[in-house]
Amino acid sequence: MKYSPLQEARYQYCPKLPSMLRNDICSIVAKRGTNTESATDRDAIRELFPNTYGMPMITFEQGQNTQTFDSIHVGVILSGGQAPGGHNVISGLFDALKALNPASRLIGFKGGPSGILKNDTLEITDTLISEYRNTGGFDIIGSGRTKLETEQQFETCAKVCKQHAIDALVIIGGDDSNTNAAVLAEYFLQKKHPIRVIGCPKTIDGDLKNDSIEVSFGFDTAVKTYSELIGNIERDANSAKKYWHFIKLMGRSASHIALECALQTQPNICLISEEIEQRKMSLEQIVDMIAAAVAKRATLKQNFGVVLIPEGVIEFIPEVKALISELNDLLAKYHEDYGKLIDWESQKSFVSSKLSSRSSQVFSSLPVAICQQLLMDRDPHGNVQVSRIETEKLLAEMVQAQLTAMSTAGTYTGSFSTQTHFFGYEGRCAFPSNFDADYCYSLGYTAAMLIAHGCSGYLSSVTNLTESADQWRSGGVPITMMMNMETRHGQHKPVIKKALVDLDGAPFKYFASHRDDWAVHTSFTYPGAIQYYGPSEVCDRPSITLTLERQKRS
């Protein structure tokens, strides 16, 4: 098979490890700290996880270790959406297992969690892994969104693991996947199945983080990929000087991607969902804000600009959030009756008659295309599929209408033409940045060390990430420490708490202190493509968000 020159070169890249992990792996010791507690709902979580609650933090250090490691058989699962660096987690896991004992084996379950339920496996070998090192995607074994949450599923997992003599499972996923990992670890201990479970923090959305998980892998590469595209569009806008570009970005529950891309590219406007919710901004207020910026720039003869929009912002606008909640309940309750309606007018009339008066007004005020998107099939959790709602087109259309009214009133004299974009899949499988390649490899290596030292119910953790990789620290975080109780499908369940944009945090404050200037003056910056070769300050740099967060802590 013929590969591109970059692909060939990336195969040869040697990911950097924390200096301690580069030493004799058999001389590394696991230092256990004090027992931990969950941030909230401690009694409820302790009751649900009696075997894994309160476990100590783990840090790996160089020390006197006379232990010899037996061969370890490990199963690995990629769970959820793709994120750059997943292949390097598996590479680091594979290399560490072989360093512990060359007879160790790594078994991949194909197609995500369903692979273990179907006993669909693929052994990871040196020959196989060599074709995936430092590359994007999850295609080495594939991924999936099947949830492991029932006792029957857990028993199937145990049976399949025993069939393959698997000593431990590594689940590479986001907050929901790692919540399932914690439940599975607890179940195995309760039933005395000798199978350890370790998680790795993955999601490009960046909402799986805390003091011990500084960033989820894939975020760095995704935001740099999107920022390159945004910078290209900004340069085009500044060249043509005739379009306002409305760009929707990934991020349903949190606006970390939008915020980081704004810090990297300095657009005229960037909406932050968490701020909109806190300020209880209506859709009308958001449109007025954007229109005011467009009008102000028009007075400077700058009839162009860029607006960044988080994917999930529509769910944070109070009146639209209430409408979506009513629609979710309505479509679940009247699923059969609604399914019999064929034409749009009858569908609209039916829905409007069942909504509250306020939500009916909001529904009627929206463009037809957006109303139809709000009524599309729900996801497996019964929620609206926000990625399919063209919020960028909604805002562009509503701003156009507002500017037309302002023009009639004589308060706007510019020209307004729009282009709309949605950047999503473009960032999920890119060649990982050097940061993500190194970070992911270290996460996989650390996961193997946690298994070798008998840990279960932990999330692999690599910290001190704004320093050079040799100064990174390696260890494990009890997953129960990151949990709280939330209502899901009418039931109170333990879940890893999503990390939203902190409006009191350094990244948002920096953005907020500059956005008024960016809104009026053309202040675009152009990050360019991800660099793999050259000065460390260019090629290995972490995200601006992580840098600002760590500066504040230090």
Q: Are the beta carbons of 57 and 473 closer than 8 angstroms? A: no
Neighbours of 262 (CB within 10 A): 29
Give the whole-angstrom CA distance, residue 299 versus residue 131. 56
Give the whole-angstrom CA distance, residue 164 versus residue 157. 11
Cα 252–chain centre separation? 9
Q: Are the beta carbons of 76 and 107 closer than 8 angstroms? A: yes
Paired with 62 in beta bridges are: 28
Q: Is 251 left (phi over 0), alpha (psi -120 to 50) or beta?
A: left
Rg value, the chain, Cα: 25
The identity of residue 441, as a single letter, is: Y
Give the whole-angstrom CA distance, residue 531 versus residue 3. 19
Give the whole-angstrom CA distance, residue 33 versus residue 20. 18
Instruction: Give the contacts of 432 (CB within 8 A, at least 6 positions apart).
Output: 84, 85, 88, 134, 135, 136, 218, 221, 440
Q: Are the beta carbons of 442 and 15 closer than 8 angstroms? A: yes
Q: Are the beta carbons of 549 and 465 closer than 8 angstroms? A: no
Neighbours of 501 (CB within 10 A): 23
Q: Where are the beta strands (DSSP E) in 233-384?
A: 244-249, 269-270, 305-310
Give the whole-angstrom CA distance, residue 180 versus residue 162. 20
Residue 544 tokens read as 């601006």
Residue 211 appears among annotated catalytic residues: no
The identity of residue 278, as a single letter, is: Q
**Catalytically annotated residue among 205, 207, 436, 540:** 205
Q: Where are the beta strands (DSSP E) in 278-424?
A: 305-310, 418-423
Longest dimension (CA), the chain: 82
Residue carrying structure tokens 């949605």: 422
Give the whole-angstrom CA distance, residue 253 versus residue 271. 13
Q: Are the beta carbons of 170 and 199 closer than 8 angstroms? A: yes
Q: Are the beta carbons of 531 and 541 closer than 8 angstroms? A: no
Point out the residues that are catalytic. 205
